[in-house]
Structure formats: C-alpha cells, structure tokens
Amino acid sequence: MWATDATPPLDATSPHPQDSYYNLLVQGFSEGHLYVKRDPPAALAEMPNPYDPVASAPYLLSFNDLSYYKGRLYLYFGITPALVLFWPWYFLTGQYLSEGAAVAIFFAIGLAGAVGLARAICRRYFPESNAWIVTAAMLILGLAMGLAISDTVYAQTGLTISGSVYEIAETCGFAFVMLALVAIWCSIHAGPIRQAFWLIAASFAYGLAIGSRPSLLFGAIVLLVPAIRAWLERAGLGSYSRVMILFAAAVVPIMLAGVGLMLYNDLRFGNPLEFGWHYQLNRNDQAAARQFSLSYLWFDFWFYFLQPFGLTAHFPFLKSIPLPAVPSGHYAYLTSGCGAILTKFPLVLLAVAAPLAWKGRPVQTVSSLRWFAVALLSLFIAVSLTVCLFFATSNRYELDFLPELLLLSVIGFLCLERIVLPHRREVFFVRSGWCLLLMYSLLFNLFLNIETHAIVDCTEGKIFSLHDRFKDALDKYQKAGAIWPDCVEAHFGLASTLAELGRPSDAIAEFQKTLEIAPDYAPACESLGISYLKTGRADDAAVELQKAVELQPKSAEFRSALAFCLFQMGRKDDAVGQYQKAAELDPAKAAYHIFLGGALEADGRLDEAIVQYEKAIELRPDAVQAYNSLGNAFQRQGQTAKAIQQWKLALQYMPESTSAQVNLAWVMATCPDSSLRDGSAAVALAEHANEYCKGQNPAVLRSLAAALAETGRYADAIAAARQALQLFQSDPSQAAAMEEQLKYYQNRQPYRDQTLVK
C-alpha cells in the first residue's frame, strides 16, 4: 500500500475575557474598524468555500459562529451589548468585562423591570392584594426562569463553554424589552405632555433590544399601543395632533436605531440587511439554511409549549424524552427534551384570567390596565410566533417571550384573588394554589438544572477531548454520571474517552451501559462496534454496526463504519456495497467517495476506484487524500506520469503530506524512465519527510536510501537502507525487499523499480 496522511489537529481557544467575542469587537472599535481584533486562519482565504462546515472544521473550535467576509472576522450577534456595556466598561475601568458578568448584569436589569411592573400593577389596580407577595412571586419566577434558560458556565480549568456569547445577546434583548415595557407603562399612565416623552424612551429602548436580538423586530408593534389607544379614545380637534405626536414618538427613535443598524451592516458586508448570518463559520451550512418556514411551526410550538417530561427512579427523577420527527431543513441541534413552558411554568395558564381585571369594574378605572395587557399580549404573540417559525430550537429562546406571559399570569392571579377576596376560605385556596404553582416551578427547574449541569459537564468533557486532555475529560464525564446516573451523554462520553486512553475493555463496558439506558442510541452501537473491531472481535463489531445502520438507515457515517468492518473481515463486495450506499446518502461528502475508491482499489477494480477519487476531487479540490489515492491507483495501472502529477497536486495543498513526499521521492529516484527521474528533488522530498517522521518511518527511509543512491551518495544510502531494514523486521516481505535493494547500494548502483513504467 502507498502511504496515507492523518487529519490535522484542531486549534485551541483562549479562555481570557479579552479574547471573548464582544471584547474582541470592542478592541476593533477602539482601533477604528468594525471587525473583531482576531486574524482568521490564512487557509480560509485559500478555500473555494470557507463556509463549508467540513472544510472549515479544523478552525471551528476557535472561530465558531464568527462571520468571515473578505479576509476579516465579524460578529453577527447584535451590536448593542458592545455599545451599552462592554465598551463603556472598558473605557471606565480599563478592564475587560467577562461574559458571565455581562449576562448577570443584563438579566438583573430585565428581572428588575419585570418585578417592578408586577409590583406597580398590584399597587395601582389591586391595592387590596399584598404587593410583597407579588414581588416575591416574580423573584421566584425570575430565579426559575434563569435556571430554565441558563447555559453559561465556566469550567474550573478556565475553558469557556460555548453558549455564553449567545446569552449575552439574549439577556441584553430581555433587559431592553423590559425597559421598553416599563416606559410604555409610564406612557399609558402619564399625562398628555409626558406621555410622548415616555414613548420616545420606549421606542429607543426597543430599538436597542432589536440591535441585540433582530428576531425581536416584529414585537415592535407594542410601541403603537399608546398611539392606537389615543386614536380610539380621541375627542376634539386637538386629539388628532396628539395621536400624530404619539405615533411619531413611537416610530422615529426606533427607525433611527434601524437606520444605524443598516448602516453598520452596509459598512461591514455591503448589504444593509445582512447581519453576517450567511457568512458564518459554523458546523452547519447557514447560507443554505431556510431560516423561517411554516413547516417548522408545529415542531417549535410543541417544543416550547407542549413538550412533556419523563420520570426516572434515579435522582433528579426527571429525564428527557425523544423529540418528534424533525421537519426537513430544521436544525434541532440546540434542543433539550425535558419539559416545555406549560410543564415548567403551569401558572402561565392563569394568563387567560387576565380579562377578569375589568369585569364588573368601570372602564375608565381599568382602561390603562387593559391597554397594558394588550401590549403584553401583542408582544408575546409577535415574538413567540417569530421564534416558532425559526429553523432551530433552544430553551434560551424562551427568554424572548416568556416574561410577557408571566406578567399576564400575574394579572390573572390578581384578578382571581380580587374576585374571591370577600370569601376568606376561597382566598386561602387561591393563594395556596398560587404558592404551590410557584414552588412547583422553582423545584422543577432546580431539578431540571441538575440535568443541565450534567450536560454542561459533558460539554466540557467534549472540549477537553478536542484538546486531547482526556484525563480531564474523564473527570468531567464521571462527574456528570454521578449527578445524573441515567445521563446517556455521560456514559457515552466516558466510554469514548476510555477508548482514547487505550482502555478498550473499560470502554466497551461503558458503551454497553449506555445501551442499557438507551437501547436504540445508534451512536453507541457504532462506537461499541468500532471498539469490538479494535479488540479483534470482528463478528461482534459487525452485529453492533449493523444495528446502528438499522436504527438510522439514512446515516452515511454508520454505513461507512460498517463498510470498514466488513472490509477488515475480508467481505470486500459487502464493504463496497455499504460504501456505495454511504456515498449515495451523502453524495456531497468527498470522504465517502475516497473510502469507496479505496475499497474498489483493494478489490482490483482500479478504473472504478479512479472514478471515485476524481469525484472526490471534484467535490473538494483540496482533498489531499484523494490526490494521494488517485496517484497510487494510476501507479498501479503503470501510469507513472499521471501518478507523479497527482502527488505533486497533493503537495500543493498540503506540503507536509508524508505519503505524497515518500511516494513521489521513490518514483523520482527509482523509475526506469530517466525523463521521470530527479534525484536531487527526490532527496529533498525524502529528507523533509524523514525529518518530520524523526527517522522512524521505514517507508520514508527506503525512499531516502534510493534517492541518495540516485545522486551517488552510496554511503549515506547504505546507512539509510540499514536503518529501514531494522525497522522492517516485523514485516518479512518488506525486509526481504529491503535487503535486495541494499545489495544495489553496496555495489554502488542505484536501484530501479521495474514496476514503474510510463
């Protein structure tokens, strides 16, 4: 077999606050430009499509979810957090604010606004109720809500879990939406003169919210509520001018904010409506994604509002349940299957009692409350509908619309309490029920957060594994398993880490535990099969890999693993069949065509193998392994000139490709055709490869010996050949061939490989 190359390692991510995305943006602003202060890898500029998740995979750990455009990196997340917090903080303190602190600040502002509104509603319209009970209730709900949506965790080692940058934008949007609602409340209850000023503040705050979370755009309809109220309740000629003033107060500030955002986008991407989404470096091809669709509506609605939860006998007693079929085009990679809003916060159902606030009461007394409830409802509907049409789901997105629903439920509770207030027993039951629902929400989310912490430990374990810190990863997975004994990800990650640490027996035991918890978890079947194969249990491996394929018949990855197993068992025809199915399932992935080509080549079907290698190169012109394999295939056909051409192309894309260097050096040193020989070039290639392999690769040393002999350096050739012969002792056939070549060098003759012809 001709030599092959390994996949290059991934880059590392700096954990320091100054290297977080928003602080890098602040550094860019300070230097007078709009891109983040971090240089992208030079390799991105050389790629035909740098947004291809496969091609950019080696760089995603460092640059995931940044936007790459014309050689610069940009932040597609909203600009508002940088303008209102990160940049001012650095200007005033000279220090960079951590992402966790920013999330805490924004969430605290939003929660304070929500609590303040709940308390104001109670004191103004329900004075008979205890405002402190409502305040405490909102704080409890805020704590539960924070537990429900929080993903930001910092590892003790200093590695930052991906997700905090997302929460910065989300909590910033939450903070400014709540501030906008506070201003709308003040506008609704203010006199004619101050009403417009409060509405200007609300419009400006909501513009900043959109600057953080563009998905909040359609919720801006809430700003029109005071103007609509003034229009419907107008009386006299002067009222028309008042309506127009309110309308202008609602529209102009947010329009100015919108113009600023569009200018910001145009200066970065040459398109006022482009936030950088289509230029993301992401594990999925965002440019080709269908971001919004009616086909996502039911799945997302089920996820956010109706999703139930499972129970288990082990602490914390809650478990995720399988999600329904994911719609075509939907990216369900940010999902958690353990409870939705009606499960976690059943008290939101009290929102339907909000209209009781004005039942049996004079309209003029509760008119302002009615309009504020309309504002909450319109904001909730507009934003939740937007989220439910989006192509991805995440519990974090609930923060965009859950606070409005909780405020409506507070109004509903206060209405019920007012109705039963004359009856002491009924009041007791209403308040007791309210307290029970509050405690349920808090405890449910506390238990759910235990699962979240286990998942975070698993995520940290994955990051440690990517950094080859397998012992640290092992500790994280064990910690996750101790917190949540039924955590599939913990057992699976632990098993995978044990396999990396060279403990196949322990890995197999953990993979088996994973399948005891989740018998239909196909990735565990695949990994168990691969572990069996590594320990020589090929028959058991085939059984598990076949099961993985049966569980997910459309998985090209699983079929490829099964094909590899079958190939190792000598079932070449079956292996070719599985590789063909893998290539059919994922025809755009060059790797499957390379694997299929390798199986066909091993089966002696060189012409078919060449077709597959050429297809792989067509899909990925930088696929080095395809060039190497194509060169090998041409060489086996006796087309040495074509083989040389392919190996040279491989070196253009990867100058460090050992396989291309050693193959090319061998041919250029030993080919009987003098027009294809180049001893000096062969020596340079072989010496470079030998230096990279530290003199421990016998194939490289064999090529080096032949190249040295071709240039007349026979003493050096003999030394290299003897070193290669020593390393070849475990392979009798190669050792015999090396001894034959050594005789040529001892006789001061170059070696000619008679299999190499034009």
Structure confidence by residue, pLDDT tens digits, 650-695: 888 888 888 888 889 899 988 888 888 898 998 999 899 888 888 8
Structure confidence by residue, pLDDT tens digits, 697-719: 888 899 899 889 999 999 998 99
Element (H, E) at 66: strand 66-69
Q: Does residue 758 surpass a pLDDT of 60?
A: no
d(CA 549, CA 526): 8
The structure tokens 């309209």 sit at: 363
Domain residue ranges in the chain: 99-146+154-421, 655-758
Structure confidence by residue, pLDDT tens digits, 493-528: 999 999 988 898 999 999 999 999 889 989 999 999
Phi and psi, residue 469, nearest 5°? -100, 70
- Cα 676–Cα 681–Cα 684 angle in degrees, nearest 5: 150
Q: Does residue 15 surpass a pLDDT of 60?
A: no
Q: Is the preceding peptide bond at 253 cis, omega within 30 degrees of 0? A: no
Q: 280 in helix, strand or coil?
A: strand
The structure tokens 């640290």 sit at: 472
Residue 158 has a pLDDT of: 34
Q: Does residue 1 surpass a pLDDT of 50?
A: no
Residue 296 has a pLDDT of: 92
Structure confidence by residue, pLDDT tens digits, 163-203: 478 889 999 999 999 999 999 999 999 988 899 999 999 99
Structure confidence by residue, pLDDT tens digits, 295-339: 999 999 998 998 887 777 766 677 667 677 788 888 754 445 556
Q: Length of the chain in residues, anyone?
A: 758
Could you tell me what percent of the chain has a pLDDT over 90? 34
Residue 147 has a pLDDT of: 63
Is 718 in contact with 709 (CB distance < 8 Å)? no
The structure tokens 């050693």 sit at: 662
Structure confidence by residue, pLDDT tens digits, 357-394: 777 676 667 889 999 999 999 999 999 999 999 988 88
Q: Residues 213-231: what's their mean pLDDT?
A: 93
Structure confidence by residue, pLDDT tens digits, 139-155: 777 777 776 565 433 33
Residue 636 has a pLDDT of: 86
End-to-end CA distance of the chain: 20
> 655-758 — its CATH code?
1.25.40
Q: What are the CA-CA distances from residue 630 to residues 608, 655, 675, 737 (Å)? A: 11, 17, 21, 25
Confidence of residue 87 (pLDDT cuts 50, 70, 90): very high
Q: Residues 556-561: what's their mean pLDDT?
A: 90
Residue 149 has a pLDDT of: 62
Q: What are the CA-CA distances from residue 108 to residues 80, 103, 135, 663 (Å)? A: 17, 8, 14, 63
Q: Residues 23-45: what's their mean pLDDT?
A: 89
Is 636 in contact with 647 (CB distance < 8 Å)? no
Q: Does residue 130 surpass a pLDDT of 80?
A: no
Query: Letter for the amino acid at 683?
Result: V
Residue 27 has a pLDDT of: 93
Instruction: Give the distance from CA 693 to its chain's centroid.
Output: 35
Residue 483 has a pLDDT of: 80
3-state helix, strand, coil in the chain (%, to 5): 70, 5, 25
Q: Does residue 582 surpass a pLDDT of 70?
A: yes
The DSSP secondary-structure symbol of 271 reads -
Residue 238 has a pLDDT of: 57
Residue 316 has a pLDDT of: 67
d(CA 546, CA 529): 9
d(CA 614, CA 621): 10
Is 242 in contact with 249 (CB distance < 8 Å)? no
Helices 131-149 & 402-420, crossing angle to 10 degrees? Answer: 150
Confidence of residue 447 (pLDDT cuts 50, 70, 90): confident
Residue 221 has a pLDDT of: 95
| Mean pLDDT over each residue of the chain, to the nearest integer | 85
Confidence of residue 430 (pLDDT cuts 50, 70, 90): confident
Burial of 43 (0-12, 13-18, 19+ CB in 10 A): middle
